[in-house]
Amino acid sequence: MRVFNFSPGPAALPLEVLEQVQGELLDWQHSGMSVMEVSHRGKAFEQVAAQAEADLRELLTIPANYKVLFLQGGASAQFSLVPMNLTAPGSLVDYVDTGHWSQKAIAEAVRYCNVHVAGDAGGNYTRVPPQSELKFSDGAAYAHYTPNETISGVEFGYIPQTGGAPLIADMSSSILSRPIDVARFGLIYAGAQKNIGPSGLAVVIVREDLMGRARPETPLVFNYQSVAENHSLLNTPPTFAWYMAGLMFKWLKRAGGLAVIGERNRIKAQTLYAAIDASQLYKNSIARDSRSCMNVTFNLKKPGLDAEFLTQAGQAGLQGLKGHRIAGGMRASIYNAIPLAAVEALIEFMRSFESRHA
């Protein structure tokens, strides 16, 4: 029996996509093989790769002067690869610190660059800083931020204006959750295992004028220019993850694209936050204008009940609700594949749990 899976990543995938994969597994495109067993150099896989890129371009309306790269190493590799590919040693770069993942990105960047923290969320990271609090440097090679902090559940409701430096975004937990204006960014990267597909893949969308600056020591397979020139097929890619990402893009297109998905996500998040706000037992600590649409965090006002809450949620078919170990409490990750029915089932369980522990 399938459960409602609120895991933060690897995360739930749409049943429709999983069933398609299952149906195609043993004999993909009449090849007598699974997609995992065919050459990445063959025409059939090249077609998968090209179609996935075309569909992603269409979904995000990616302008022609941007390259789309499919890489390994997850989003964490990009924490190093962004400075390696975009800067010379000692360059000044700006980072906005809004929590765990921005700090991870900063910790890598300081190994390559002179990092200036252009703003932070202050205190315990329960809000994102408004534009007026951001202090970007003159002459920074780029400015980096994390539009959605997956662990605390804070999300920017706006795209920062940097005053000139190309804007770099770690969109791991928010990409494809709603339409975005790609032209506002110099580079966007995302690990796949939330809204793109299975883990093992990272997508980089990079403006062409930012390429060709890689430091000489950058590994060839991580050199954006070389990867782009080779259509991300410099070496053997994670073919299965790429194929599944392609199926996910098709699923999103069938669902009506990002405007439709974005509205669906907004309703899901609003419904869950409203239920939390209306309760006596649950509390969300994030400033209202900074609440994440993808990762809804909440605490039980009686923390002694955490374990019981999780056990009983599991028994009710609701999995993956335990908050990150550094944050504690609960977190419901409600990425694209989570239907409103899952959110409603969670709310019903939360209400019934509360009534039993009033």
Question: Interface with ligand PLP by CB under 6 A: which range of 73-81, 218-226, 241-249, 304-312?
Answer: 73-81
Q: Pick from 99, 103, 96, 102: which is nearest to 119 by CA?
A: 96
Q: Under DSSP, is residue 44 helix (H, G, I), strand (E, B) or coil? A: helix
Convert residues 15-54 into a mask of x (bound to ligand PLP by CB under 6 A) and - (unbound).
Answer: ----------------------------------------
Nearer to ligand PLP, 75 or 269 (CB): 75
The nearer residue to ligand PLP, 38 or 188, going by C-beta atoms, is 188
Among 205, 140, 142, 139, CA closest to 172:
205
Q: Does 290 bind ligand PLP (CB under 6 A)?
A: no
Q: What angle do CA 65, 75, 220 make, to 5 degrees?
A: 65
Q: What are phi and psi of 50, to 5 degrees?
A: -65, -40
| Active-site annotation, residues | 101, 170, 194
Is the bond preceding residue 237 a cis peptide, omega within 30 degrees? no
CB of 101 to ligand PLP, least distance (A): 4
Question: In the block, which residue shows the tokens 């078919």?
Answer: 317
**CB-wise, 53 or 170, nearer to ligand PLP?**
170
Return the residue of 38, 71, 75, 84 that touches ligand PLP, per CB under 6 A: 75
Which amino acid, 215? R
9 binds ligand PLP (CB under 6 A): yes
Contact (CB, 8 A) for 70 and 242: yes
Tell me: does residue 200 bind ligand PLP (CB under 6 A).
no
Query: Which residue's structure tokens are 């043993």?
Result: 26
Could you say which of 85, 126, 173, 333 contacts ligand PLP (CB under 6 A)?
173
Interface residues toward ligand PLP, by CB under 6 A? 9, 74-76, 101, 146, 150, 170, 172-173, 191
